[in-house]
Amino acid sequence: MIRSAARLFQRQGYLGTGLVQVVEECGAPRGSIYFHFRGGKEELGLEVIDLWEHGTVHLVHRCAEKAKNDPAEMVVLLAKSLADTMQRSGYVQGCPVSTTALEMTPASETLRVACDHLFVEWQGALCGHFVQAGLSEDRAEALASITVSALEGALILSRTSLSTKPLEVVGQEMSSLVTASLPSPSSRKRRTRAA
């Protein structure tokens, strides 16, 4: 039911998705939604954001592993993964959390806090890999922040332009920014010897 709701939120937003539609999408009996989600739509919204948070953080770690901890390559792979998903969906499935955030802030403080939590965790995951690669905390935090902003924005531009180009550009440009922020190989070696 949460997965069905996430798919619908991705495509048409939180406000545009009715509980009956969620139940129909996943083929569950009508009454079951209030059995599982006594808090109604807001509770289902929280579960969708939570599901997305886990998925996004997991994706960051998977990209870091695939990039053998090269942070510039990690960002390229992350953008590529989002671009592939977007293209496969025919440019209709974006991020369910951005739409929920835009629709429900300030109407629901509960959903705002949950959306903020997702963005903080996503940035935290990126930040950890940047620091591991030798970036200072300050540089890592700034780069994590602009990476998430740029990817979220590119997911919007990708849908309106029916193209993966905006996401690819974010991958390339962020990769340059990360590379420019990395300590030189010699200072990295010194750091490793000191550790």
- Asked whether position 15 contacts its own copies by CB under 8 A, the answer is yes
In the 3-class helix/strand/coil scheme, how is 15-53 assigned residue by residue? CCCCHHHHHHHHCCCCCHHHHHCCCHHHHHHHHHHHHHH
Q: Which is nearer to its own copies, 16 or 124 (CB)?
A: 16
Stretch that binds its own copies, among 55-63, 68-76, 87-95, 126-134 (CB under 8 A): 87-95
- Asked whether position 121 contacts its own copies by CB under 8 A, the answer is no
Q: Where are the alpha helices (DSSP H) in 105-182?
A: 109-132, 137-161, 165-181
In the complex, minimum distance from the CB of residue 43 to its own copies, in angstroms, rounded to a whole number: 19
Q: How far apart are CA 94 and CA 171, in angstroms?
A: 17
Helix or strand or coil: residue 99?
helix
Stretch that binds its own copies, among 21-29, 37-45, 65-73, 164-172 (CB under 8 A): 164-172
Asked if 10 and 90 touch (Cβ cutoff 8 Å), the reply is no
Q: Which is nearer to its own copies, 94 or 134 (CB)?
A: 94
- Asked whether position 150 contacts its own copies by CB under 8 A, the answer is yes
Asked if 183 and 131 touch (Cβ cutoff 8 Å), the reply is no
Binding site for its own copies (CB under 8 A): 11-13, 15-16, 90-92, 94, 98-99, 101-103, 105-107, 112, 115-116, 119-120, 142-143, 145-146, 148-154, 156-157, 159-162, 165-166, 169-170, 172-174, 176-177, 180
